[in-house]
Amino acid sequence: MRARSLDEALASLDGDGKILAGGQSLVPMLNMRLVRPARLVDINAVPGLDAVRARPDGGLDVGALVRHTDLLTSPLVQARAPLLAAAAAHVGHRAIRNRGTVGGSLAHADPAAELPAALLALDAGVVVAGRAGHRRLPLAELFVGLLTTALAPDEILTGIEIPEARAAGWGFAELARRAGDFAIAGVAAVVRGGPDRCTGARLVAFGADDRPVRLRAAEDAIVGRAPSAELAARAAVEAPRDCRPSSDVHASAEYRAHLVRVLAEDAVRDAVGRLAA
């Protein structure tokens, strides 16, 4: 069913309904008969969910239906959250990015996906609509497990709120078997501070656990220290501590843990480099 308004969409989400946004993850599962919802609620026509807007605090509001391609081309995203654009560039290929949505990526909660990790590094929150009204939720609370979120079946993720991060340094690194594939592992980094001292750090690994995870030990190694390539290397050593990677057909847990270290170094080096600049 094609919802024309949020209320209509919410009203349709009773029982075994499933939200269809970009469909780039859901439709393959439908085609393979891996999911079989009684009802699909297409929210693409719901107005007001497809815009990127500046927040007065210097941050960004990103509608759930904003497509990956729009993140790449939006001057606002480039100016206020370039990390998000960098992450979006790694999502699939152009035809996928043209359809896939930010909200869909978060709601699907693939632990190897780029956008959830980048947004978690940016300390973003989500706005969730339910029949009782709206609620806000930090991203760390949205992801509760493998392909699982804290969204109730009758709720819709409508937007993402990204706090101001214009002065922060950022870095993004991943290794995938092929360009456009889900990463074997990757790291998104946001470091705050100045050329003399890092005052804050949020490092997030993806493809390294059942959800995107903060690398807190590595963050602790950064905060309070002067930004440098050596700092990146030192912090990276701590990176694998906070993730529990699993093994699959593309890589073992051990290799993923190694990659988290290597990629954390790359991401942090870029982030502190941008901070210093």
Partner 1 sequence: MNEVAVRLRVNGRDVTASVAARRSLADFLREDLGLTGTHVGCEHGVCGACTVLVDGRTARSCLLLAAQLEGAEVTTVEGLTPAGGLSVLQGAFRECHALQCGFCTAGMLATAHELLAENPAPTRQDIRDAIAGNLCMCTGYVNIVRAIELAARRLRESTAERP
Partner 2 sequence: MTRWVGAPLPRKEDARLTTGRGLYLDDVARPGQLHAAMLRSPHAHARVVALDASAATRLPGVHAVLTGAEAAAASRPIRPLIPTPVPLPDWCLAVDRVRYAGEPVAAVAAVDRATAEDALERIHVEYEPLPPVVDPEAALRPDSPLLYPELGTNVLWHDVFAYGDVEGAFARADGVLRERFAIQRYASTPLETFGAIAEYDAGLDAYTFWTNDQRPGLTLAILAESLGVPQARLRLVTPDVGGAFGNKRRPAYLLVCALLARRAGRPVKYLEDRLENLGALMHACNGVMDVELAYRADGTVVALRVRDVADEGKNLVSPTQHNLIKLGNIVNGYRIGAVAYEAYSVLTTKCPSGANRGIGKPFMCFAVERAMALLARRLAMDPAELRLRNYVRAGEMPYTTPPGAQYDSGDYPATLRRALERFDYAGWRAAQARARGEGRLLGIGIATSVEPAGTNLASYELITGRRAASGSAEAAMVRVEPDGRVRAALGDPASGQGYETVVAQIVADELGLTPADVDVERGFDSSTTPWLYLSGNYSNKFSVTDVGAVLGAARAVRDKLRRIAAHRLEVAVDDVELAEAEARVRGVPGRGLAIRELARTAYADVLGLPPGEPPGLEARHAHQNPLARPVGADRTVRSQLVFSNAAHCCLVEIDRRTGAVRLLKHVVVHDCGRELNPLIVEGMVHGSTVHGLGAALLEEFRYDDSGQLLTATFMDYLKPTALDVPDIEVDRLEHPSPFTPLGAKGVGEGGSIPAPAAVANAVEDALAELGVTVRSLPLTPERVWRWLQNPEEVR
112/132 Cα distance (integer angstroms): 32
With binding defined as CB under 8 A, does residue 249 bind partner 1?
Answer: no
Q: In the 8-state DSSP scheme, what is residue 2?
A: B
Within a 10 A sphere around the Cβ of 243, how many other Cβ atoms? 25
Count of residues engaged in binding partner 1, rule: CB under 8 A: 25
CA distance 116 to 140: 10
CB of 236 to partner 1, least distance (A): 28
Q: Shortest distance, CB of residue 162 to partner 1, whole angstroms?
A: 25
Determine which residue in the list 15, 16, 28, 167 makes contact with partner 1, applying CB under 8 A: 28
Q: Among residue numbers 84 through 103, which ones bind partner 1 (CB under 8 A)? A: 92-96, 98-99
- Name which of partner 2, partner 1, none residue 233 binds, using a CB cut-off of 5 to 8 Å depending on partner kind: none
Residue 144 CA to residue 106 CA, distance in Å, equals 12
Token pair of 175, please?
């290794």
CB nearer to partner 2: pick between 20 and 64? 20
Which of partner 1, partner 2, none binds 177 (CB below 5-8 Å, type-dependent)? partner 2
137 interacts with, out of partner 1, partner 2, none, CB within 5 to 8 A per kind: none
Longest dimension (CA), the chain: 57
Q: Is 47 in the site for partner 1 (CB under 8 A)?
A: no
45 is written with which tokens?
């026509």
Closest approach of partner 2 to the CB of residue 218, in Å: 17
Q: Which residue has the tokens 């950022």?
A: 170
Single-letter code of the amino acid located at 64: A
**How big is the chain by its Cα radius of gyration, in Å?**
18
Residues that bind partner 1 (CB under 8 A): 1-2, 20, 23-24, 27-28, 30-32, 40, 42, 44-45, 69, 92-96, 98-99, 178-180
